[in-house]
Amino acid sequence: RSKPVFEQYLVRSREELCRQNFDPLNVNPLYTEFIERLSAHPDKILSLQNDLWLQYLKLWKHTTLKALGEETNDIVKPDKSDRRFSSEDWQINPLFDFLKQSYLLTCQAVQNAVHDVDGLDEYEKEKIAFHSQLFMNALSPSNYLMSNPDVIRETLSTGGANLVKGLENLLKDLERGNGSLKISTTDFEAFELGKNLATTKGEVVYQNELMQLIQYHPTTKTCFKRPLLVVPPWINKYYILDLQPENSFIKWLVDHGHNVFTISWVNPGAQLAEKRFEDYMESGVIEAMEEIKDITGEPDVNAIGYCLGGTLLATTLAYLAAKGQADQIASATFFATLIDFEHCGEMKMFLDDEQLAMMDRMMNEKGLFEARQLQQTFSLLRSNDLIWNFVVNNYLMGKEPFPFDLLYWNDDSTNMPARMHSYYLRHMYRDNLLKEPGGIVMKDTAIDLRKVKTPAYFLSTRDDHIAPWRATYEGTQLFIGKKTFTLSASGHVAGVINHPQKKKYCYWTDDQTPKDAEAWLEGSTKHQGSWWPHWLAWSKKHAGKRIPARIPEKGIEPAPGSYVRVRA
């Protein structure tokens, strides 16, 4: 059974490499220049090698003393967040301790070489450092049978049954990916939309070719007069905000009296290849607001935008301001949203001109940017957690991944229409035109964020690898209305989806939004627990009085609707 699966995998891999000219990340020219510039300074190479050898001599001494049973201090330690070396054997066994520290020293030496080379600008150094770290992550001793103490112990205790099971898991993942390796990160049989995910009761009250609009049933006798519209990203599906009842942000909103509507974006096929960014604004946010106005009779909404949905919300605010219709949105909340893309983090490593041209060629073939390619990109940003962790668990330890709703959602990614995605990457990520007055034109209307007076709440997360918090903070400087910035602990998803009952993490607040993000942090106040109650108190100022709860009429279909069920 394994032979045809592996043959299919090899054929697909060879075709993919040929189609991408063997350099899909466009790093070969940069590495060539790096080697040339480093070679021009043999004295620097000698100094770097000498430093590394001195560190290794210290490590040999440390290992010898440890083998003799003496106490000694580590030469280098992994980062506190690095879980690869958490097993006790990496600390107490001299052999594995040596493997761990020699690997970490080598990683340091590679990064030192990259940052010490002359003649490369900061972006080039960051790109080489990023891709070098990806390579070093792959070489970690924790990823291999004979150098991972946990795997060795499991192999001995099971008589190799873990490796047999691991091979079965590998074959399943190859089959699941239709010949490409699609690593399982959770138990996909444990979850079902509408059954134990996206279960908040509601109705699909409107739909067009890009989205379904869901209105949720109230759980309180009264609700706030002004309706609340949630604009999720269309890179992933909306139910990140409505996972299970115990961590559903949407259910929490409903339980606290908000009359909630959310957009559920379609998972597009090639027939939507020509859809533009402004189509998502017009057929998404604006049509949703018009429908909400018809349903509730209210002239305006409060709005929440998450990630790319927040970027779209900011664009819509600027467009409405340019059209003299800014009062249609009474307040705006931005979750982990990039508006100024100047310092957008590691995502820029994938967005030079050559890579964008390659993506255009791929999108032109199929009319869309495929979900699997987008998911691979996000996995590379956290390769130790989202790739190598599961390689070890699934294929070496022979274990099944743990059922985890966040990872089920993460795997349920969506396609991107070719024209929209190309525009977004070039005009916003690469050229950063959204922050420029008149830099972005929507429906023949030049927009300017500096004309937005709408009260705004910005929520960012401290460990965000997709939308770094200092970059998202810069968005506060673009609006002229009253702004509130809050920083949550944890990352892009876990820092946002943090129910107060969990009593996890912490958050920082400050009423002022100075120009510099570090100045904001220095003046902020730290609070324990979830930021949700802090936002709720802010939102009540813009929610209006309480009225009898609005019960949605029977709609097109019950929530979560059919659009969200379409898998890429």
List the catalytic residues: 307
In whole angstroms, what separates CA 104 from the centre of its chain? 26
Separation between Cα atoms, residue 367 and residue 234, nearest integer Å: 16
Q: Coil, strand or helix: which one is 534?
A: helix
Alpha helices, DSSP H only, in 28-160? 28-39, 42-67, 89-92, 94-116, 122-138, 149-158
Separation between Cα atoms, residue 185 and residue 167, nearest integer Å: 16
Determine the residue type at 250: I
286: which DSSP letter? I
188, two tokens: 């996909």
DSSP string, 294-357: HHH--S-EEEEEETHHHHHHHHHHHHHHHTT-GGGEEEEEEES--SS-TT-GGGGGG-SHHHHH
287, two tokens: 């049509």
DSSP string, 180-212: S-----S-GGG--BTTTBS-S-EEEEEE-SSEE
550: which DSSP letter? P
Q: Where are the beta strands (DSSP E) in 225-328?
A: 228-231, 260-265, 301-306
Separation between Cα atoms, residue 17 and residue 12, nearest integer Å: 9
DSSP string, 17-58: HHHTTT-TT--HHHHHHHHHHHHT-HHHHHHHHHHHHHHHHH
Q: For residue 157, report the phi and psi dihedrals to the nearest 5 degrees.
A: -75, -30
Determine the residue type at 480: I
DSSP string, 421-447: HHHIIIIIIIT--TTSTTSSEETTEE-
Separation between Cα atoms, residue 235 and residue 293, nearest integer Å: 27
What's the chain's Rg over C-alpha atoms?
26
231, two tokens: 């604009």
Count of beta carbons in the 10 Å neighbourhood of residue 186:
20
End-to-end CA distance of the chain: 26
Separation between Cα atoms, residue 240 and residue 222, nearest integer Å: 26
The answer to whether 264 and 214 are in contact (CB under 8 A) is yes
